A and B are shown apart, each in its own frame.
Chain A
Amino acid sequence: MKNFQQNLQKLEAADTQVLGVSMDSWFSNKAFADQIGVTFPLLSDWGGKITREYGVYKDEYQAPRRVNFLIGKDGKIMEEQVDKDAIDPTKIVDACQRPKMKQ
């Protein structure tokens, strides 16, 4: 999540809202956000309903996998990054800065 925080200005400049999601409680997520200095919302999917709807629940973790979805203003998914690829936000930042994403 720190990686997104470091790129937050670029993302916001490209009209993009970052939302973290985990199955932690909102209490844990707030403490986590404070600890690592994240200013965007870390949402609590307590019980994992949304995690399962997005198909990212991993039995082995009993939690979500590391996955990024970039969703356009039309509500459609533009990019997906899974596991290790999801750590580096560069591709998401580049995608947001493409002219069509700004419209």
Chain B
Amino acid sequence: MKRNLSGLLAGLLLAGAFATTTPAFAQTNKEGSSMPKVGDTAPDFALKYSDGKDLKEVKLSDYRGKKNVVLAFYVFAFTGG
């Protein structure tokens, strides 16, 4: 019985600790864990941009064996960086 009680207490303490730390922890995990790692093959894509007249499609695979590619994700247009 005493053991059960201390177990319960430990459980409650643990639950309390998780309640305060989980949101930040879970978020970091969620956002960070699915990024491909250095050495992984970059996922292929086909995306469009406008050159002012036409929409043009760019595929990552177009550059295979030809050029290195810097893929620069940014948050929003009209913001810094």
Query: Which residues of B are found within 8 Å of A6, using beta-carbon distances?
Result: none
A17 at the interface (CB under 8 A from B): yes
CA distance A55 to B43 in the complex (A): 11
CA distance A45 to B72 in the complex (A): 12
State whether B31 touches A65 (Cβ < 8 A): yes
Within 8 Å by CB of B38, from A27, A31, A80, lies: A80
Query: Which residues of A are found within 8 Å of B35, using beta-carbon distances?
Result: 54-56, 67, 80
Task: Give A69 Cβ to nearest chain B Cβ, in Å.
Answer: 4
Query: Which residues of B are found within 8 Å of A32, using beta-carbon distances?
Result: 77-78
Query: Which residues of B are found within 8 Å of A101, using beta-carbon distances?
Result: 68
Q: Mark B44-81, 1 if CB is under 8 A from A, else 0.
A: 01011111100110101101111111111111111001
Q: Which applies to chain A's interface (DSSP): helix, strand, loop or mixed?
A: mixed
**What count of chain B residues pass the 8 Å CB interface test?**
44
Within 8 Å by CB of A55, from B34, B41, B47, B65, lies: B34
Residue of B nearest to A34 (CB): B52
State whether A3 touches B81 (Cβ < 8 A): yes
Within 8 Å by CB of A75, from B41, B47, B52, B75, lies: B41
State whether B66 touches A19 (Cβ < 8 A): no
CA distance A64 to B10 in the complex (A): 39
- Show the binding face of B for A, using Cβ within 8 Å: 27, 30-43, 45, 47-52, 55-56, 58, 60-61, 63-78, 81
Nearest first, the 8 A-B pairs at minimum CB distance are A55-B34, A55-B35, A32-B77, A43-B47, A64-B73, A30-B50, A41-B49, A16-B68
